[in-house]
A and B are shown apart, each in its own frame.
Chain A
Amino acid sequence: MLETKDILETINMIDNENLDVRTVTMGISLLDCLDQDIDKSANKVYDKICRYAKDLVKTGEDIEKEYGIPIINKRISVTPIGMVAAPCQSKNIVKFAKALDKAANTLGVNFIGGYSALVQKGFAAGDYALIESIPEALSVTEKVCSSVNIGSTKAGINMDAVKMMGKIVKDTALKTADKDCIGAAKLVVFCNAPEDNPFMAGAFHGVGEADCVINVGVSGPGVVRAALAKDGQNKDIAEIAEMIKKTAFKITRMGQLVAKEASKRLCVPFGIVDLSLAPTPAVGDSVAYILEEMGLESCGCHGTTAALALLNDAVKKGGVMASSHVGGLSGAFIPVSEDAGMIAAAKKGTLDITKLEAMTSVCSVGLDMIAVPGDITPETISAIIADEAAIGMVNTKTTAVRLIPAIGKKAGETLEFGGLLGSAPIMPIREGSPKEFIQRGGRLPSPLQALKN
């Protein structure tokens, strides 16, 4: 029999602590949509996505109502378009972005990810043209998200791609300067990108995946914070870890249930549950506040990295037993603009880009949703990407960079995106030019950690 206190606990989590399923993401392979004629190929892409995902939004809404769990986003991820575009030999790859956007609007999904290229070791046919087209693609579409994988532990770091991405990030911000540079918020540069990630902007459907799968991303920083606030006083750190594990278990079980149910109703195999703690700008739903609840005066002060390491590890340990398949990014996210506590800490000056970089070595994902001054040079963006990729490469983990150059603005000002993307205080960056280092190009060799065989 169900216990009253358990039922009331669940209701309280949903009503007062922002517990939700962040996203149900349908991954769709486009490998059968290849064609030498770009228009034909784009049509095939549109048709296949609309055919496969026609019931996605409705099914999500039905589950939401029946189970009483908010499902915030319904999303689609597709095969990296760099591959789909390879046979076309066309410069006008933006047609694919438009087809994806049109499909997203037809279906009513919130985002569609996969305007991507995987170039960790080098550029294949289609990749170069795709990357070049990103600024335009993200300025003429609304729901398309883009990602580029420029490094991996196995392959090393493609420094030519790193050099290129510095310019692409800046150009993307420039092209959307009239909309608070929103384009750059939909572009992620990865090292060790996972192929089954349901979270945007980095979701794409890897080539090793099935034709179609359902992946689910949970959320719930508010629940973890509330648990610590309620029972965390005078507990030692191992007991805190234990409390986080138990809470993460419950959150993930809910995600697993939604994933199984969505997969059954849509007749699509269940892929993975992503265990990430994804914050939202809502008050209380913040990863930074969890760290502060552990006893830090302000997120970013000394001790933050250790507290985050504990949180990240406990979330995984609690979550992994709750789900039959765990994947994606699975860890605590620290997107500055999407986290009320991080925004407050950045405004106070206790949280800066170098502390964030240190934090990314112990959590997923990376320097995420960080606004930087608009006069930042492309080489400096590239160097930030290279630093972050090096952390991922050496530690055999995913790292990512989602920087927003705030065109026309300086450190201390703010970019306002609204909705889930929140608002981003512009952070100062370090002095000194990395120009010569970045212009060398070439391939940064993979580390010894890659040689495991």
Chain B
Amino acid sequence: MKAVITVIGKDSVGILAKVSGACAEVGVNVVEVTQSVLQNMFAMIMLVEIEKSNVSFDQLKSNLNKVGENTNTKIHIMHEDIFNSMHKI
């Protein structure tokens, strides 16, 4: 199963490293990353493979939330199907 991680907030040093670090720690593979910085606002989207994750989805979510708190960003992780079904026919 693939999930989408979105990170939105003020740009600062090391956001990408911290989020991908949190993924690597629990065996979550990053498949794709796009990011943009617009007027200091940082938006990063990661497509990740969570089948081999060694923690529950819930745990992963709370790990990422902690990273969000530390980096002053808002992090969501959601099943990719939600975006596929809403935006593709």
Contact = CB atoms under 8 A, between A and B. Distances in A.
Contacts of A4: 34, 36, 43, 45
A66 interface: yes
A6 B89 CA distance: 13
B82 interface: yes
A8 B6 contact: yes
Interface stretch (A164-172, A186-194, A248-256): A248-256
Contact of B87 (A11, A69, A250): A250
Interface in A5-26: 6-11, 15
B16 interface: no
A69 B47 contact: no
Contacts of A15: 74
Given A67-B78, A67-B79, A254 B6 contact: no
Contact of B81 (A6, A7, A65, A67): A67
Contacts, number: 61
Contacts of A69: 78, 82
Interface residues of B, number: 25
B10 interface: no
Contacts of B86: 6, 10, 250, 253-254
Contacts of B34: 4
Contacts of B43: 4, 8
B28 interface: no
Give the one of B6, B79, B82 with max A CB within 10 A.
B82
A60 to B, nearest CB: 14
B87 A6 contact: yes
Nearest to A254: B86
B69 to A, nearest CB: 16
A257 interface: yes
A69 B78 CA distance: 9
A254 B8 contact: no
B2 to A, nearest CB: 10
B4 A2 contact: yes
A68 to B, nearest CB: 4
A10 B61 CA distance: 18
Nearest to A66: B79
Nearest to A258: B82
B82 A10 contact: yes
B40 interface: no
B84 A2 contact: yes
A7 B36 contact: no
A254 B76 contact: no
Interface in A221-243: none
B45 A65 contact: no
Interface string A60-76: 00000111110000000
Given A4-B36, A7-B6, A8-B43, A68 B83 contact: no
A431 interface: no
B77 interface: yes
A67 B81 CA distance: 8
B58 A65 contact: yes
B85 A254 contact: yes
Nearest to A9: B87
A257 B87 contact: no
B42 interface: no
B51 interface: no
B85 A65 contact: no
B51 to A, nearest CB: 13
Nearest to A261: B81
Contact of B78 (A68, A250, A256): A68
A257 B85 contact: yes
Interface string A38-75: 00000000000000000000000000011111000000
A66 B4 CA distance: 11
Contacts of A65: 57-58, 61
B45 A7 contact: yes
Interface of A: 1-4, 6-11, 15, 65-69, 250, 253-254, 256-257
Task: In the A-B complex, list the 3 residue pairs whose CB atoms are closest, starting with the nearest.
Answer: A68-B78, A6-B87, A257-B85
30 contacts: A1-B32, A2-B80, A2-B84, A2-B87, A4-B34, A4-B36, A4-B45, A6-B83, A6-B86, A6-B87, A7-B45, A8-B6, A8-B45, A10-B82, A10-B83, A11-B76, A15-B74, A65-B57, A65-B58, A65-B61, A66-B57, A67-B79, A68-B77, A68-B82, A69-B78, A250-B86, A250-B87, A254-B82, A254-B86, A257-B81
